[in-house]
Chain A
């Protein structure tokens, strides 16, 4: 079980990262989902995988070898938040397509952003008078 889950997490993360590196925003969004799935599984597995019973209390008390409930609770909310993030990312993707007619990340930056201007503050203007005053 441990080896299987480790390999699965590794592969999901690798695929997710690979898609995150893609130039197309659609693939970046899907990459976030895949990466999120991998990380969720990893967090889940941090509670160890030897469980023989789910974390439910019976009349006889907690079953022996019950699953660790804490990572489960964490992952449960993480899945829902991941979903909310995914919907938001989709909205951004759709809006970028509508606004810029492209889903290529670099092309969007090229059309959406002006190059920043690095100008000096007032130093050059005050410089001459300063030089005169110094003498």
Chain B
């Protein structure tokens, strides 16, 4: 089953290339894919007819119980045969119909893509898999309707279809999830009927699933999109919008009939909506002048009738459902293709301009005659059996049944009249004034309608074949319990036969009096004032306007307003969290703050406050530096030497970068916002967040630290990581993958910053260095200092595994050494001195770190697992290699940004 979907999907992929290379022959070749699938399912028919069920499972989301499972029972087989069989004919037909279209390849691809999705839909047993294919059919339908996308009407129709079916799809998804929840399974086949029926969510499930099914199958009031979808090329209308996709909704109803179908509300809703849809479609069909639109509205009628039949849940009703499904797919696809052929041959689809075509197109005419007879429900065609069973199925229901039978009789009579329009009016009678001289169409264009029409005849005449092989198994699948199936043409003088005779009489009368009938219908002005399309456009316009209003409110383009709402929200959340926590306990003090910590914290806060309040640029730089140094002191006091050194080095480099950029910026204007009210709001928000965070900290401290992660690291570091500096071992061994990601971020940020710095044209500073360093003594003194720093940095890198230091700290110190040279002698000289470019250094660093990880992979262990060798008692391992990579990356990143900035200084 999965292979059949995959085969058609593969055909979709190669279709565009085939269409370009092979020209006319591509259609014949591509049609082989659905043909093979058709034959495959045909061969499975005996097994399924004997009551067998085939299934296939693929693991998908095992944690949620969702799997890609397929199941072939009678109903699925019926649909799969229709899809692949009619699909084969449609591919052939499309090749001839659009032979001169420059995007024929794309059309094939869409068509085959739809076919694969539709097959998946009817074969899927998993609710989510079914939904996935369901949405795929909506999307391919969108692409096919908008195939002539240069026409505004096509685009509008496509969007309308997508929004309506897609909106229904959302409801369906919600319904399916609830259904799985209530039924205790994600598979159609194992849903528990009793659990669903008695579940309190049953009404919600029913509503949501029905919305999904009704939108897809164009039931009132969602029927709008279907007639408009006729903007698509005729092969699409024949395949998607009559024979297959629109039946997906009905398919879903049939599939869920055993699960959801027991209730009164199911019967009531389906009967009402189905009857209303059938009536509306039939009345509207009679009013159309365009042959394609006549067929589109009759399709709506049929979909309504199918819904009604499902509602009956009687054995005649369900048989009628299965028979009618097949009969309709046969004759409607045939009629659509024939109408396309007429359009192709004469250049028009307007009824008024057609007539007497049988002279020019005898083969097409013959096919249309057969299909129209089936459509009209005349014996011995399959459509006749369908009609008989429909009546029998509805009459079974008692009083409600008689009313619905009346609806059925009227709609069927109108269908008969419509069939008359399509055959009698178009093909018989005197020849009309065609825009073009008509001609018989080529074989690929008449073979489809002919086969389907003859098939409709044969199924009717030799109905026991259809019964044994197809209808029986399908009906069993729909009903969920054993149902006797017995097809017949002549059932004796039953009420159904009387209704049938009545239908034919009424239908012929309708056809003969159709002009008067149309005039009479158009007199119901009240009815025509309700124009769905106008309301649809109005609704869409309002939604767009509403969306624009919302967007204007939130996307105003002001950064400070965004920040204001964002921070206010954070403050609100913090306050709520504190209220929820129920007050802030005073934490147990582990130890009194020592002098260093106190001084550090004071410096950090005072520096930050000064940077915030002062205006001079030098002052800001200095204040920020002081704040950072204070923080470093605090870290040191809290027994974190590595963090303190890192903070120290970063602060040094930050000050230099800030100073270099600041001197090119204008003097700062007034601090804070101009309006006092806003200034107050800002102060309140800032204080609220600050106080909230402080309270959160106290709350954290009052809780014990969960787990003993710290102890594990302390215990494992030396035996497992061969290092005494636990912080460094974590960085380069235990959590090396994190570190790899982090140095990647650093590298990317530096590359990005350098790109922005480089936008400025190069200035004179590059060659000479800064004038501030002009003193010979200073320049001479700086060199040995830089050299010393470079050596220290290497030492820090080397010893970092056991003592304070490591790749990050070493890299930052080395960057400081380079900074000294670059500032005094100029970036140009510094570049020459280093020989290797910063970007190359950076890349080499990343590569080295990655290599250190790959070594473990080569030895069959997880990425970045440490490996050690001990030549002469000296521990050497991949974590050291990794740390060297960190060193080079950090060094390269800082130097790249620094050199670029210095070079572009004017």
Residues of A within 8 A of B (CB): 1-24, 26-28, 30-31, 33-34, 37-38, 40-42, 44-58, 62, 66-70, 72-73, 75-77, 79-88, 90-95, 97-98, 103, 105-106, 109-110, 113, 115-116, 118, 120-127, 129-131, 133-135
Which of B638, B687, B710, B750 contacts A69 (CB under 8 A)?
B710
B538-579: CB near A (< 8 Å → 1, else 0) gives 001100100110010001011110011001000000000000
Instruction: Report how far A38 CA is from B609 CA in the complex, Å.
Output: 13
Q: Cβ of B159 and Cβ of A86 under 8 Å apart?
A: no
In the complex, which range does the number of interface residues on chain B fall in?
35 or more
List 30 A-B residue pairs with CB atoms under 8 Å apart, sorted by A's residue number.
A2-B588, A5-B638, A10-B697, A13-B689, A13-B693, A14-B689, A27-B671, A33-B654, A37-B631, A44-B640, A47-B705, A48-B701, A49-B638, A54-B641, A55-B714, A62-B711, A66-B714, A67-B639, A69-B714, A73-B731, A77-B742, A79-B646, A80-B808, A88-B750, A91-B901, A97-B666, A109-B557, A121-B155, A123-B541, A127-B537
Q: Which residues of A contact B771 (CB under 8 A)?
A: none
Q: How far is the CB of B586 from chain A (nearest CB, A)?
A: 8
Q: Which residues of B contact A103 (CB under 8 A)?
A: 665-666
Q: B interface, by DSSP: helix, strand, loop or mixed?
A: helix
Q: Cβ of A118 and Cβ of B551 under 8 Å apart?
A: yes
Instruction: Report how far A2 CA is from B620 CA in the complex, Å.
Output: 29
Q: Cβ of B537 and Cβ of A34 under 8 Å apart?
A: no
Instruction: Report how far A62 CA is from B760 CA in the complex, Å.
Output: 53
Q: Which residues of A contact B755 (CB under 8 A)?
A: 91
Which one of B380-388, B428-436, B598-606 is at the A interface?
B598-606
Q: Which residues of A contact B501 (CB under 8 A)?
A: none
Instruction: Report how far A48 CA is from B709 CA in the complex, Å.
Output: 13
Which of A41, A72, A90 contacts B753 (CB under 8 A)?
A90
Q: Cβ of B591 and Cβ of A131 under 8 Å apart?
A: no
Contacts beyond the supplied A70-B709, A127-B533: 13 A-B pairs with Cβ under 8 Å: A5-B597, A11-B605, A13-B694, A14-B687, A19-B611, A20-B567, A62-B711, A93-B665, A94-B664, A95-B757, A115-B557, A125-B156, A130-B533
Q: Which residues of A contact B669 (CB under 8 A)?
A: 24
Q: Cβ of A14 and Cβ of B686 under 8 Å apart?
A: yes
Determine the residue in chain B with the shortest Cβ distance to A7.
B694
Q: How far is the CB of A99 from chain B (nearest CB, A)?
A: 8
Closest 7 CB pairs between A and B?
A14-B690, A10-B694, A50-B590, A18-B686, A126-B156, A84-B749, A91-B756
Q: Cβ of A17 and Cβ of B713 under 8 Å apart?
A: no
Q: How far is the CB of A97 from chain B (nearest CB, A)?
A: 6
Q: Cβ of A24 and Cβ of B714 under 8 Å apart?
A: no
Q: How far is the CB of B37 from chain A (nearest CB, A)?
A: 37
Q: Which residues of B contact A14 (CB under 8 A)?
A: 686-687, 689-691
Q: Which residues of B contact A9 (CB under 8 A)?
A: 693-694, 697
Q: How far is the CB of B493 from chain A (nearest CB, A)?
A: 44
Instruction: Report how far A69 CA is from B735 CA in the complex, Å.
Output: 12
Determine the residue in chain A with the shortest Cβ distance to B702.
A2
Q: How far is the CB of B717 from chain A (nearest CB, A)?
A: 6
Q: Which residues of B contact A77 (CB under 8 A)?
A: 731, 738-739, 742, 808
Q: Which residues of A contact B604 (CB under 8 A)?
A: 8, 12, 37, 41
Q: Cβ of A87 and Cβ of B665 under 8 Å apart?
A: no
Q: Which residues of A contact B718 (CB under 8 A)?
A: 57
